Chains A and B, each alone.
Chain A
Amino acid sequence: DTAVSQTPKYLVTQMGNDKSIKCEQNLGHDTMYWYKQDSKKFLKIMFSYNNKELIINETVPNRFSPKSPDKAHLNLHINSLELGDSAVYFCASEGANEKLFFGSGTQLSVL
């Protein structure tokens, strides 16, 4: 069973559209993250949730809205998509000693 699963794996959409990326973890962890990997492969933290509460919001445009219906899920909704939003988005779940378990990523292409 996949520990951290993200859907969809690929997302191609037009500018101005609204889209969501879903993430689920079956590890029983309290803390989950969203990371954005840019074209240079640099991973930058976007959000962190602990037990459904927002802990970290790293100066992300408010077009990005994370939603955590329960601690096993952290979804990412993006409004009014822009070309610069094109990237790979990774969801992660945090276990003991800050060890992160990553999803396989969602490659978002905004046309």
Chain B
Amino acid sequence: SQELEQSPQSLIVQEGKNLTINCTSSKTLYGLYWYKQKYGEGLIFLMMLQKGGEEKSHEKITAKLDEKKQQSSLHITASQPSHAGIYLCGAGHSGGYQKVTFGTGTKLQVIP
């Protein structure tokens, strides 16, 4: 069963617009990671959140983890064509050798 659900699945926005991508887990998250994949390339680490209520920003991208640590959002302000790609949330889980599982991904297109 899918542990991480992302929404929306795809998103087309006009350049300059703000957007939000959500990631919801059926279990408590012990670490939430956001990655970006550019078409045909590898995955690039964006941010990691570990504490309930935590918020981090990098340039125009802000990620938040809710207090219950089951939901995270990624917000992009004033989107640019360079933001286009697939955004994936990944979750670490407790116990032993941990594995990171991934959400379903959100494909973002930014129209100039």
Interface of A toward B, CB cutoff 8 Å: 4, 31, 33, 35, 40-45, 48, 50, 55-56, 90, 92, 94, 97-105, 107
Interface of B toward A, CB cutoff 8 Å: 31, 33, 35, 37, 40-45, 48, 50, 86, 88, 90, 92, 97-102, 104-105, 107
Task: Collect the chain A residues with CB atoms within 8 Å of residue B100's CB.
Answer: 33, 45, 94, 98, 100
Can you list 18 residue pairs at the A/B interface with Cβ under 8 Å?
Answer: A33-B99, A41-B86, A41-B105, A41-B107, A42-B102, A43-B90, A55-B97, A90-B42, A92-B43, A94-B100, A98-B33, A98-B48, A98-B100, A99-B48, A100-B90, A102-B35, A104-B41, A105-B41
Report the minimal beta-carbon distance from A111 to chain B, rounded to whole angstroms: 20
Establish whether residues A42 and B105, one from each chain, have CB atoms under 8 Å apart when the complex forms. yes
Task: Collect the chain B residues with CB atoms within 8 Å of residue A33's CB.
Answer: 99-100
Establish whether residues A48 and B97, one from each chain, have CB atoms under 8 Å apart when the complex forms. yes
Q: A41-B86, A41-B107, A42-B105 are in contact. Are A98 and B42 (CB under 8 A)?
A: no
Task: Collect the chain A residues with CB atoms within 8 Å of residue B40's CB.
Answer: 105, 107
Establish whether residues A56 and B41, one from each chain, have CB atoms under 8 Å apart when the complex forms. no
Which of B31, B90, B97 lies in contact with A50, CB distance below 8 A? Answer: B97
Establish whether residues B104 and A40, one from each chain, have CB atoms under 8 Å apart when the complex forms. yes
Task: Collect the chain A residues with CB atoms within 8 Å of residue B101's CB.
Answer: 45
Q: Which 6 A-B pairs have the closest CB atoms?
A: A102-B43, A43-B102, A104-B42, A41-B105, A98-B92, A102-B42
Closest A residue to B107 by beta carbon equals A41
Q: How far is the CA of A90 from the CA of B100 in the complex (A)?
A: 13
Task: Collect the chain A residues with CB atoms within 8 Å of residue B33's CB.
Answer: 98-100
Q: How far is the CA of A50 from the CA of B97 in the complex (A)?
A: 9
Establish whether residues A45 and B99, one from each chain, have CB atoms under 8 Å apart when the complex forms. yes
Q: How far is the CA of A44 from the CA of B40 in the complex (A)?
A: 17
Task: Collect the chain B residues with CB atoms within 8 Å of residue A105's CB.
Answer: 40-42
